[in-house]
Structure formats: C-alpha cells, structure tokens
Structure 1
Amino acid sequence: MIQTEIGPMDGNTWEGLCQIVYKKRYSTYQEMVPSPGDWGIEGFMLGHGIAIQCYCPKQEYDTSTLHTKQVGKITKDLNKLKEYQNEIASRIGDEKIKQWIFITPRIAKNHIYSHVRTKETEVRGWNLDILDDDFQILIHDIGHYLSEFRVIQTLRGELLIFSESQKDSLEKTENSTEYEENINRKNKIRSIRGGNYNLNTHKRLNKITTDKFLLGDELIRKIEKQSPSLYKSLNRVINQYENEIEEVSLTWEGTASSLLEKVSTQLKERLEKDDNIGGVIVDSDLNQIVDHIISKWIALCPLEIDQ
C-alpha cells in the first residue's frame, strides 16, 4: 500500500480505478481479465489501437528502487506481447496495437523515458502481427486521470482526501508585502492580553497565520484541479459568508479571539451543511480550509480586528 494524491493505493485499487476510467472514456474498451493468463495488457480499445497496463508498487520505495521496479515491470510485460502474441491476436482480431500505455501513480525518474524509447525500437524489430509499425510506448501517472478519479470516488461516497501529499516547502504567493503587513498589524492587536503587549506571542501568531494561509492555498489549488465541482461549491459558500464578514467584524464588541472563534465556527457549519461539501471531504481537510480562509481574511481583509 502506498500513499497517493487520492489516498492509499495498492495494485487492485489502482487497477480498478484505471479500468473504470477507460470504460467510461471508450465504449469499445475491453478489459483483459487475467484468466487464463496475464498477457501484458489490462485492456484494449478496439478501433483505437490502444492497450493499457497498470502498475502500482506494493509499498513505498526510495526513488532508485521504484525506478528499477518500474523499468523491470515494463520490460517484463512488453516481452509478454511476443510470448503471447497468438493469444492476444485471437482477442483483438485484426486490430493493431499502436500505443501501449503504462499507468503508474508516480514516475520515479525521467530516465524511464529513455528506457521506453529503447524498448520501442526493440519491440518494433520483433515485427509482431499484433503491433503497428509505429508502435509507441507512453507513460501515464496519476495526473492524467485526477479529475476522473475524483468523480469516481465521489460517486462511491468516499471521503475525498487532498492533503496527504502536501509539499514540504511552501511557495510564496504574490503581493506578499501587503498580506504580511495586514497579518502583522492585526496580530499585534491579538497579542495584547490584559492591556499588555507580548512580542513573542505576536511573532508566533504571525508565523501560524502565514503558514495556514500558504498551506491552505496549496490545498485549495489541488481541489480546484482535481475536483472542480467541489471547488465551485466551496467557493460559493465561502463567498456568501465573506459578504457578511466585514459588517460582522466592524460591529463586533467582544475580544479579537472571540470574533475569530465565532467566524471560524460559523464558516465550518455552513460548509458542513452544504449537501455538496458536508460528507464529501474529510474533516481534517475541511478544518484546513477553514483555517486558510480565516488567515486569508486576516491577510487580505475583509476581516478587520480592532482594539
């Protein structure tokens, strides 16, 4: 089992998702079940000359090991095309395989492309009746199918996970000076307790707010790319509430901490109550989205904090 952008995967779950995608994409797709044997293809598209083969590693490997296993898998399965050419021919008829697509969650090294270019030349030299003269090998990773995988997960009622593979380093967003000044100004007010200002608290709040802003921004971009319908729903609910925030903050008579607590609680409640959001995305990601939006409103307004 490995961790991917769409959650934990093993060979069966990975192939299962790929099979669904191709069955939806092509009405002529034929799944090649491994009975009576595994012949180097998981399925083929009649009329298109496309065959696919899926591979998901059994466990997390370092880059070099994963690359070695991917190269070995490609070599082994391509050899099966020659070994079982008669069996394959009887299944695909007069079809010629023009493209053989190797589908794996992530590519370990770009050296894999050098390997498949070499293998293309070698395989063409076999002059197999089942292969086109311009036979081509393609490598697809999870990015080729993200939005389709997300649709499948949603239809299955699975909770969507977006934050499993966050980057270790965070990119700075544009106009950082403006949001840093707003964060610093508003957090200075939050750092006053009992009339006393605490510099260490102020510095720590600035870091926490900035981290939540940047980390959440990365998560939001993932959702927009992988699940546009969920992103649209989030955007709608958040924008509706954002229209009310300025008035709420300008007329607030309590403390800054109680204001932020109220806004955070109300935003999450609205997201959870929406039929297209609640029960669709895991709670940890939902909390991260709320933290991001609150930090964003602190950084870029409209959430104002006064003494």
Structure 2
Amino acid sequence: MRDSSSTRFIRFHLKTRHLVLLVELGRHASILHAAEAAGLTQPGASKLIGELEHALGVPLFERLPRGVVPTWYGQVLIRRAGAALAEMDAAHQEIMQGQAGFGGRVAIGSVRAAAATLLPQAIRLLKERNPRVQVAVASDTSQAMIEGLRAGELDIVIGRILDPGAAAELEFEPLADEPHSLIVRAGHPWLNRSDLGFEDLAQAPWILPLAGRLRDQLMALFIARGLPQPADVVETISLPLVMRLLADSDRVVALPLELVQSALDAGTLAVLPLDVDLRAGVYGIVTRKRHHLPPSAEAMLAALREAAGLTPPVHT
C-alpha cells in the first residue's frame, strides 16, 4: 500500500515540469542551462526546485559558485524523474504503434561478448517478424548501462548487476559467464615461449578496460605475486581501437574469445600460452521490475530469450 504522504506529494505537489527540470538538472548541473533546456526562466526553475525541497523536506541540490550538485536525495529524484518521463514516452510510442501498426523503437545495451554473438541472432529473429521495429544498440560498462536502464534511457540491458542497491528494482535472467584469454597479434615474440610468466606480463605494454571488476581481477593477479602493476597502459573498451593497437604493437589485452574469434580464425590474432583464469562474471538479460515494455521492446525481449534458449520467468 502506498504511503499517504507519498500520495499527497504525487497528487498535489508533483507536476510534469518538475520532472523535466530534474532530468535537465541531471544533464547540465546548472540551473540556468537546465532552465533553458526545459523552456523555463532561471527564477522559474529556482522556484520549482524550492517547491520540491519544501514538499519533501530535504535538500535536493547543493548550490556552488559554478552550478549545482545533486545531493543523494536529488540523485534519487533525478533518476526516478527520468524513469517516469520514459514511461510516458513509452505510453506515447505504444499508442502510436497501435494506430500505425506494429513498429516502434527499442533501445538495448549490451556487453561486448553478447553484442558479438547473442545480440545479432536476436536482432535477426526480431527483424524477420517485425521489420519496422527500429533497434538502437549501446555498448558501455555494465554499471553505466544499468544506470541508463534505471533512468528509462534503455529498455533492456545484457549485462551485469554490480550494485546490490539496484538489484531490488531489476529482473535478471542469467545467460553466461565471460572467461577471458590473453590476446596478442599474430607473430608476437611470446607465442612460442613455454616459460612465459606473470613477471613478463608485468613488464608488457597493455590494453586495459576501464576501472571495474575485470581490471581489479587482473591487477590482483600481479599484486598476489608481489609484482608491480603494468605501467605502459592504454585504457579503452573500443574494439576497433583495440584491434588497431594490437596490429601495430606487442600489446596484450584480456578479451573473451567470442569477441575476436573471426580474427583468431583468420590468423591475425593469437592467444598467449598462459592461463590466467580471468572471468568477468555472469551476465544476463536485465529489465526493470513492474515496468510494462512497449510492444517493440517486448518483441526484442522475446527474440533475445529465443536466441539464448531461455523461457520467460514465472512470476508468482
């Protein structure tokens, strides 16, 4: 049952322009710029923020000389405002789809291994049945994509839930783990070495992912052996850039084999003869609980499950 104070806040204090302003404040961190983006004056935007803070009894933003920074309360409200507006946008899309016949758009985020294997199969299935559905695919870290899902910017994510605080809001259908191997260019001088060890890897030039679970695991392998962490590092998750860097140097990168299988088959890349037992963790299909997807996203979700051999979860 909804708390009566929440009901009063929603019915008597909250207006659409509050939601729009909150989303723009999350994007711009400036009352002036957020007001312009929301079609408001700066005094009008300040008044709306004051109304929300008075109704909730908590500070939503910290005022600084060069802008505003959301407090924890402000961050919660910004994220929920984005999700609320996304719901109304989904309602509009669903109505338009109902009028014009099945079509619409679905936004999906995916980790790289699934984007190279599962996702193309699912898109093919979707397009065979619903060619008018537009598919927008984003690739980022799981954390960033989950935040996009929670804010309503994405309909579906194939990734990992790394924040326990977000788990209660999300449905997770596990798909697979993601073991990584050490990948180098064909002809790399270490490929024929039988005595390759972590001492060599510590001195190697590396391509590393951004901060996160996989990088932490990799660095822990050096720390556990009393070795320095690699100093010559390029940070990126861009696969085209990774491929170019590998081709032009003796750099080492940890990747799932599925991601570079075509290059391995073609003989342009190779796997170093050292088992590092790196696993990024189980990824899966992530959606928001108690959120009704529009038909286009439901069709994408069904195609993903079919391509992965999953059956829909049963809710009791």
Computing the radius of gyration over CA atoms, which structure comes out larger, 1 or 2? Answer: 1
Q: TM-score by structure 2 length?
A: 0.22
Task: Report which of the two has the higher share of helix.
Answer: 1
Q: Which has the higher contact order (CA 8 A, sep 6+)?
A: 2
Task: Report which of the two has the higher share of strand.
Answer: 2
Q: TM-score by structure 1 length?
A: 0.22
